[in-house]
Amino acid sequence: MTSQQTAAGTQQPDIPTQAQQPAGGRQQAADGQPLVRVRDLRTHFPIRRGVFSRTVGYVKAVDGVSFDVHAGKTLGLVGESGSGKTTVGRTILRLIPATSGSVHYRGQDVFALQGERLRKLRRHMQIIFQDPMSSLNPRMTIGNIIGEPLTVHGIAKGSEREDRVASLLQRVGLDPSYRHRYPHEFSGGQRQRIGIARAIALSPDFIVCDEPVSALDVSIQSQILNLLDDLQQELGIAYLFIAHNLAVIEHFSDEVAVMYLGRIVEKASATELYANPKHPYTISLLSAVPEPDPRPTRRRIVLRGEMPSPSNPPTGCPFHPRCPLTRKAAAEADAKDTASLVELGYPPSAMPAGNGKGVTLPILSAGETIRVLRKCVEECPPLEQKKGEGGHVAACWVTE
Amino acid sequence: MSEAIIPGTAGSAVDPTRSASTPPRSWLAEALYNTFGRVGARIGAVWIGVIAFCAVFAPFLANSRPYLMKSGGRWSSPLLEQLTGVDVTLLAVFFVGLGLMFVRKLNMGQRAAILLWVVALVLPLAYWPQIGVIWRETQWPVLMRGGLLLLGAIDLAALVGIPWSMRLGLRFQLIFAVVLLPLVVLLIVRPPNPTRVPIYEQYREMEAAGQIEWVLRAPLPYSPSDRLRDQFDPNRPHPRPPSWEHPLGTERFGADILSRMIHASRIAMGIGFISTGIALVIGVIVGALMGYFVRWVDLLGMRLVEVFGSIPQLYLLLTFVAFFGRNLYLMMVIIGLTSWVGDARFVRAEFLKLRQQDFVQAARAAGLPLRSILFRHLLPNALAPLLVSVSFGVASAILAESTLSFLGLGLVDEPSWGQLLNQAVSAGGGFYWWLATFPGLAIFLTVFSYNLIGEALRDALDPKLSGE
Amino acid sequence: MPDPLLSITDLQIGFSTSRGMIHPVRGVSMTIYPGQTVAVVGESGCGKSVTALSVLRLIPQPPGKYLGGSIRFQGRDLLQLSEREMRRVRGKDIAMIFQEPMTSLNPVYTIGDQIIEAILLHQGVSSREARQIAEQSLRDVGIADPGRRLDEYPHQMSGGMRQRVMIAMALSCQPKLLIADEPTTALDVTIQAQILELLRKLQKERNMAIMLITHDLGVVAENADIVNVMYAGRVIESATVEDLFDRPQHPYTEGLFRSMPRLGQKATRLQTIEGMVPNPAQWPPGCKFHPRCHRTRQLAANAPADQTVEIRTAEGSARVMARCVHDLPQLPTSGDPELREILPQHWAACHFTENYDNAPVTLPVIEHQREVRRETVENGVEGVVP
């Protein structure tokens, strides 16, 4: 067991040191520097109300996220809708302005670039979208959709561009003669292939895959996943793979980060995370995945309530109202160290919709008293090394 | 990695929704094809076609000057000699456009750009003598000369910019040069320079005097401004009702109504297209900026839209006529400047909807320049409601001009349908039915046709809007 | 053997389009007993949703048309009922919940308005009683403070909450059959677990039958008693859930199981079913799966040349068994295989399953309810502690 790296009290753990520890036998980039380094990224959306659109609050979609993506590797980002995983991907690519934090690509500060230099950088960082229907311009031919970035970045034009487009189409498994057709003539899987061809057209070394298979049929998903896998092998592309399907993430990622309410609550190598989850949210998420076996072996944990609204997240650890672990710990702890959920403002009934604590489904049933650790309510736990493999970090006060 | 296990190849089965025989069609072509597959739109298109034909060939359809005549042993063509710059430009555009229809390789945008280029080439050449006159004899030298220089610069920019941006093949450029070169040479050697005060009577006098040995006349041998008031006949005063001589009768000063109506179709077409064109350009730019940038650009833009939306168009037209006299081009500009509001709103609404779409995000992620995102990615997707609004806009511009002319504030000498209507009731209170019926019918049919096309466009585009 | 609640026999549905008649459902048969959960599994365009809608006769006519077959519910053929009689069945005896909880509630009415309207229509009670029933049905689906929730609008609720409201609405009239069309596809896994748990609880309490339409094999494995796998407008395999997962017979079912990434099995490479999901506008000839089928290719590789044919596929061409493509005169079966009982209580439609030629053509009727279900710990602490 590696020594406990505690960065108690701080919200930004000392990740650079961890990143340099070789985790799970995966090799680092030659100079040890990650390809993409994200530090304490925050993206808050203002909530405006009234005639003068006064800002009355913020939706903290991403609230202090740090991770590294290494060249040729895949970081899986998993979470439920509203966890902010999509916003992370788009903020890194500067499609959404960040509130604070930094993103470095090969040591270059992405948020500091402007104009021509930003455009140049965009060549190296691309995105694949979830919805193959809306991600292709319905009024452009496939050839133009894939070829336009080539012209704009001065890579190829004229007949050279045509050749490039043809070979890209072939690479993603489509007939090159399709380049004169329009997106509506293709099926979902084919459109996703076109989206992939567009993303690799500029030979990027980093691609954000934003739920690339969740809109596709089951039998098509594996085709697309294998294609992405092949491209990574051949072209050495690093992926930030965003998905809600835990099985897909496990299959595809080298390292996995679990997000809850705009924060990473647990991060480890894929094998370690799935074999030995530490954070209670990860544990219940994993147990909720339906097993494709009519004689199931694992027990399922059904959490009450839903993920609270990111505009009004719970204090301290954002998971504490639903967390089974803190309840168990509170049952054994001193009464002065614990607080009752009812006292904290989670009445069993009479729950105002959508506000209050930002919870819409009941967490308590009538007459129930649940106590949680005060520490979980008052202080947000940092991401710190947990028992297990090196580099396995989780944000929880209670877990080992 | 062996080629055989590339998973991709599996997905590329020929798309079953379309057979291989139909060639791929762009969205716009598909939409127009669907539109004109409808009966209403076809009827409308036929009528607009008739009007367009009249507009292009007006001097050949109704003209007091003979096509060809032999007088004193000399052959001459007074009609060709007296063609105006507008005539020449329209003819050039018509024939080049006809030719371009058969060039399969080009898309609609390229065809339109080539036509624009032809206009930019022919128009200054055709107007060369008149431009010289304005340059020398203008009342406001600084204003007019400055304006002319500005127009010249724009024209030059179009002449250079369009071919540069189109990147047409060499072969195509050669064909084009071969077709246009004789015309250019001809225009430079003999620019159109019609007599400023034509004497139409001379041909009839020559014929009466037996000086013409052989003559070929236009089907309707009266120019629109060929007023027959000199042939005064106290028993048959003008305006005269329809007769064999004048199929639709004559107006107050004895000019042939059919001839005037044929020539007036130019104004009807021109005012519709040019004013709507101006409105479209302004509306698209303002709407696109508002819809893409949102925030304060949108706030400012919407106020601008509100201000322009509340200007009463007709009142403004009347004011300008009162101050600057009766000028067709001024009218077009004013109608254009006051009717872009609807277009801007449409484009803004569409952009607001579209900017969230993933393909726009993809375009940004690819580092495409703003110009490309706005006009290549967003605008074609926002075209649908615009097309409909344009066809209704043309109709309303025609009505505006007719209204103005009917009120007697339109053009002075140039023929216009509204102006003929104006004469239907004389100062003495007499009502001349033919002066009300025929121009009225022409206005009605034209506006009706545009509305039919607009309706059909809307129907053809609507399922696309919701379906995709 | 008790009577089945619903039995669909050889249902055929056509849609007229601008390109002519298409056949999204080409002879579907299935049976549902009271208290059973019957899963209908398939990909987009396989006809599973059309089948479900046709049970309620909600197929728009035109362009849709019932071309044949019968849907017997409690002994009555629903296809023969008048529209008025059908309206009494909908909502009261058979209810439906849809995939998209965002769009299946009307945004301009409170959820109370929408639930109470259905109760008033079917139960002949006063509006005061109807409100009480509505409150109770919200309480049943685990919504706290139902009295207040009734006066809220759909946009004030989260997705999981809305799906609960949809279920409450569907169940307010105590239907005997619930058709759930992808009820959890739009929801997150933890919410999906809640909703499925809820459906199971309600089903047990009321002995209600559920027709569960889904593409998620995990959801099927955990919830279904019987599974019908659909492909290209037909049921191509039908068996009990244990039987199907233990011994899939049809190559498509096999392929689906193999191509799915599973938790805890980090394979280097996924196996795939090649090709595209077929489009109802252009079904291939013969067996609809042959252009993508691995079994027929493997067999063709070792078969004599006169029994195989070359077909054009995406990647060029492939050699498959002639029997899968054409109706061969020397064989009693047609090119498009029908559903046969190849094993006891296990139906499949593939020429090259064992015993296919001798198997009887029978209607798939399975009266089976599973015993083993996945154990659930609500807010469980035990499961969490590693």
A347 & A235 share domain? no
Partners of A304 on chain C (C-beta within 8 Å) are 378-379
CA–centroid distance for B95 within its chain = 15
Q: For residues A218 and B152, which has the higher predicted lDDT (pLDDT)? A: B152
> Chain C interface, mutation test: which of A80, A178, A194, A301, most C Cβ atoms within 10 Å?
A301
- pLDDT number for residue B451: 86
The phi and psi torsions of A46 (rounded to 5 degrees) equal -70, 145
Q: Cβ distance A187 to C277 under 8 Å?
A: yes
- Matching residue, tokens 């299946």: C104
Q: Where are the beta strands (DSSP E) in C141-193?
A: 177-181
Mean pLDDT computed over every residue of chain C = 83
- pLDDT number for residue B214: 81
Torsion over CA: B219, B220, B225, B228 (sign): positive
Partners of C156 on chain A (C-beta within 8 Å) are 353-354
A123 & A205 share domain? yes
Partners of B9 on chain C (C-beta within 8 Å) are 274, 314-315
- Matching residue, tokens 């004895």: B254
Partners of C315 on chain B (C-beta within 8 Å) are 9-10, 12
Partners of C292 on chain B (C-beta within 8 Å) are 10
- pLDDT number for residue A342: 67
Q: For residues C94 and B367, which has the higher predicted lDDT (pLDDT)? A: C94
Partners of A216 on chain B (C-beta within 8 Å) are none
Q: Compare CB distances from C43 to A218, A245, A276 and report the shortest one's residue.
A: A218
Residue C26: pLDDT over 50 = yes
- Summarize the confidence of residues C160-164 as an average pLDDT: 79
Partners of C282 on chain B (C-beta within 8 Å) are 16-17
Q: Compare CB distances from A222 to C242, C272, C384 and report the shortest one's residue.
A: C272
A191 in any annotated domain = yes
Could you read off the pLDDT of C305-357 as tens digits, one per residue?
A: 878 888 877 667 788 888 888 777 666 667 788 888 888 888 988 888 888 87
Q: For residues B65 and A352, which has the higher predicted lDDT (pLDDT)? A: B65
- H or E element that contains C310: strand C308-313
Pairwise CB contact (< 8 Å): C313 & B17: no
A399 in any annotated domain = no
Nearest CA to CA, how far is C262 from chain A (Å)? 5
Q: DSSP states of B306-331 as a string?
A: HHHHTS-HHHHHHHHHHHH---HHHH
A234 & A278 share domain? no
Partners of C276 on chain B (C-beta within 8 Å) are 11, 13
Residue C201: pLDDT over 70 = yes
A279 in any annotated domain = yes
Determine the Cα–Cα distance for residues A205 and A187; give it in Å rounded to an integer: 28
Number of domains in chain A: 2
Sequence letter at residue B200: Y
C288: β partners: none
A144 in any annotated domain = yes
- H or E element that contains C259: helix C251-259
Closest of B122, B131, B102, B100 to residue B113, by C-alpha: B100
Residue B209 neighbours by CB under 8 Å, 6+ apart: none
Q: Where are the beta strands (DSSP E) in A238-320?
A: 238-243, 255-260, 263-269, 300-302
**pLDDT grade, residue B234 (50/70/90)?**
low
- pLDDT number for residue C237: 92
A357 & A318 share domain? yes
Chain C residue closest to A186 (CA)? C276
- pLDDT number for residue C380: 52
Q: Compare CB distances from A127 to B365, B369, B381 and report the shortest one's residue.
A: B365
Could you read off the pLDDT of C252-284 as tens digits, one per residue?
A: 999 888 888 887 776 667 788 888 888 787 888
A95 & A212 share domain? yes
Which residues form the domain of A353?
Answer: 274-290+299-394
Q: Cβ distance A244 to A80 under 8 Å?
A: yes
Determine the Cα–Cα distance for residues C59 and A119; give it in Å rounded to an integer: 51
**pLDDT grade, residue B160 (50/70/90)?**
confident
DSSP summary character for residue A373? E
A145 & A60 share domain? yes
- Summarize the confidence of residues C291-318 as an average pLDDT: 82
- pLDDT number for residue B15: 38
Q: For residues B191 and A144, which has the higher predicted lDDT (pLDDT)? A: A144
A125 & A216 share domain? yes
Residue C168: pLDDT over 50 = yes
- pLDDT number for residue C377: 67
A60 & A102 share domain? yes
Partners of B364 on chain A (C-beta within 8 Å) are 95
R_g (Cα) of chain B, nearest Å: 26
Q: What is the ipTM of this complex?
A: 0.81
Q: Compare CB distances from B8 to A125, A135, A227 and report the shortest one's residue.
A: A227
Q: Cβ distance A270 to C265 under 8 Å?
A: no
Q: Is C272 on the interface with B (CB under 8 A)?
A: yes
Pairwise CB contact (< 8 Å): C377 & A354: no
**pLDDT grade, residue B1 (50/70/90)?**
very low
A148 in any annotated domain = yes
Q: Is B7 on the interface with A (CB under 8 A)?
A: yes
Q: Cβ distance C10 to C29 under 8 Å?
A: yes
**CB count in 10 Å sphere of residue A134:** 21
Could you read off the pLDDT of B299-351 as tens digits, one per residue?
A: 888 888 888 888 888 888 888 888 877 777 788 888 888 888 888 888 888 88
Residue C386: pLDDT over 50 = no
- H or E element that contains A77: strand A74-78
A123 & A214 share domain? yes
Chain C residue closest to A275 (CA)? C264
Select from A240, A261, A282 the last residue of a domain: A261
Q: For residues B232 and B330, which has the higher predicted lDDT (pLDDT)? A: B330
A268 in any annotated domain = no
Q: What percent of chain C has pLDDT over 90?
A: 9
- Highest mean pLDDT range out of A93-107, A171-185, B114-128, B445-459? A93-107
Of A182-196, A255-269, B180-194, give the lowest mean pLDDT range: B180-194
- Highest mean pLDDT range out of A311-315, B408-412, C178-182? C178-182
Nearest CA to CA, how far is A117 from chain C (Å)? 38
Closest of A249, A351, A247 to residue A304, by C-alpha: A351
Pairwise CB contact (< 8 Å): C282 & B17: yes
Q: For residues B12 and A123, which has the higher predicted lDDT (pLDDT)? A: A123
A353 & A256 share domain? no
Supply the CATH number for residue A252's domain. Answer: 3.40.50.300
Pairwise CB contact (< 8 Å): A181 & B24: yes
Determine the Cα–Cα distance for residues A1 and C267; give it in Å rounded to an integer: 28
A222 in any annotated domain = yes
Partners of B10 on chain C (C-beta within 8 Å) are 272, 274-275, 292, 314-315
> Chain B interface, mutation test: which of C282, C294, C317, most B Cβ atoms within 10 Å?
C282
**pLDDT grade, residue A22 (50/70/90)?**
very low
| pTM of the complete model | 0.76
Of A20-34, B18-32, C64-78, give the lowest mean pLDDT range: A20-34
Q: Compare CB distances from C279 to B7, B11, B17 and report the shortest one's residue.
A: B17
Torsion over CA: B140, B146, B149, B150 (sign): negative
Nearest CA to CA, how far is B46 from chain C (Å)? 27
Pairwise CB contact (< 8 Å): B9 & C314: yes
Partners of C384 on chain A (C-beta within 8 Å) are 280, 283-284, 301, 324-325, 328
Chain B residue closest to C259 (CA)? B7
A96 in any annotated domain = yes
**CB count in 10 Å sphere of residue A121:** 17
Residue A208: pLDDT over 90 = yes
Q: Is A232 on the interface with C (CB under 8 A)?
A: no
Q: Is C314 on the interface with B (CB under 8 A)?
A: yes
Nearest CA to CA, how far is C298 from chain A (Å)? 19
Determine the Cα–Cα distance for residues A254 and A70; give it in Å rounded to an integer: 10
- pLDDT number for residue A350: 39
Residue A23: pLDDT over 70 = no
Determine the Cα–Cα distance for residues B217 and B207; give it in Å rounded to an integer: 12
A243 & A303 share domain? no
A116 & A244 share domain? yes
> Chain B interface, mutation test: which of C22, C44, C270, C274, most B Cβ atoms within 10 Å?
C274
